[in-house]
Amino acid sequence: MKIKLFSQNNLHFFALALIAVTMSFTACNKDENDTTSIISEEEAVAVIEGALMNSTSGIGSEVADATYIALQYTEKDGFGGPCGVTFDSTVTRSINETRVIAAYTTTWHWKVNCNNAMVPTSLDFDRTSSGEYETSRMASEDSAISDWTISNLVLGSAWTLNGTYTRNGSQTSLIRNQNSFTSELTMNISSLTVNKSTLRVDSGSATFLLTGNSTGGNSFRFEGTIVFNDNGTAIVTINGQTYEIDLN
């Protein structure tokens, strides 16, 4: 007597079930090993934070350096150098704190502009920087270039800074999926006022665009606004969500 193990219909059903199981296993395995995810909004904010903080050679450091130069021309004991002449200086800084470890080299270029009476009116200030930092949320190796104009150099109680800032780098996130990626961040800063007595930011705003690619080749794009407060913080807004960042 012959035993028929599978009918033609049963065999067809078995084949379909085997394919389904195989596809399910492959999908699960892909999810477990997928390292090409686009970065999260939280990771994007961590990149922006690094480009804003003083200790990571961000905008906070840019403002401190620019106003240090401006102060030399504001003091009444001589304006710090002749009009129309370009100067430069290079500074190396290392920081090892609980919040951040960083090392950067920065180069300044500046020129004072004067009126017909040879009184300084504004300052052209450019800065380049390169180095690396690590916080609890991000490790980065990057470089930046900026172009500032500082007005109200002698008159008034505050300097006004307008400028552009671009920062490129390679980052490894230390949060969520711990993505690795490259990025370019550009900022346009408007009417950033710095009190001449306290040397602190009073107000200002900026727009930004953050683009880049993850290790797996996926691209990302974030854009938004930044508002600078008089308490040493900045409010970053992305997709209607706000994040407060300490500039120190």
pLDDT (mean) for 204-216: 94
165 in a structural domain: yes
* Neighbour count for residue 186 (Cβ, 10 Å): 16
pLDDT at 76: 52
Domain of residue 192, residue span: 38-246
226 in a structural domain: yes
- Residue predicted with more confidence, 77 or 61: 61
What does the alpha-carbon distance between residue 112 and residue 136 come to, in Å, rounded to a whole number? 40
94 in a structural domain: yes
pLDDT at 58: 97
| Structure-token pair, residue 231 | 């308490």
Q: How do residues 88-114 score in pLDDT, each as one tens digit?
A: 999 999 999 998 999 999 999 999 999
- Do the beta carbons of residue 73 and residue 79 sit within 8 Å? yes
* Range in 35-39, 162-166, 188-192 with the lowest mean pLDDT: 35-39
189 in a structural domain: yes
Q: By C-alpha distance, which of 128, 82, 86 is closest to 110?
A: 86
The pTM is what?
Answer: 0.82
Q: Is the pLDDT of residue 30 over 80?
A: no
Mean pLDDT score of the chain: 86
- Residue predicted with more confidence, 220 or 12: 220
pLDDT at 13: 45
7 in a structural domain: no
pLDDT at 3: 38
- Do the beta carbons of residue 108 and residue 88 sit within 8 Å? yes
pLDDT at 80: 55
Angle, helices 59-74 vs 41-52, to 10°: value is 20
12 in a structural domain: no
State phi, psi for 23 to the nearest 5 degrees.
-65, -40
pLDDT at 60: 96
pLDDT at 75: 66
- Do the beta carbons of residue 67 and residue 230 sit within 8 Å? no
What does the alpha-carbon distance between residue 192 and residue 243 come to, in Å, rounded to a whole number? 19
- Residue predicted with more confidence, 217 or 114: 114
- Residue predicted with more confidence, 3 or 41: 41
- Residue predicted with more confidence, 4 or 52: 52
Q: How do residues 127-145 score in pLDDT, each as one tens digit?
A: 999 999 999 999 999 999 9
48 in a structural domain: yes
Give residues with Cβ within 8 angstroms of 202, minimum separation 6: 158, 193, 194, 195, 230
3 state DSSP class of 175 = coil
pLDDT at 117: 86
126 in a structural domain: yes
3 state DSSP class of 104 = strand
Give how many domains the chain has, as a whole number: 1
What does the alpha-carbon distance between residue 147 and residue 194 come to, in Å, rounded to a whole number? 17
pLDDT (mean) for 72-76: 72
What does the alpha-carbon distance between residue 176 and residue 164 come to, in Å, rounded to a whole number? 31
Question: How remote is the C-alpha of 109 from its chain's centroid?
Answer: 22
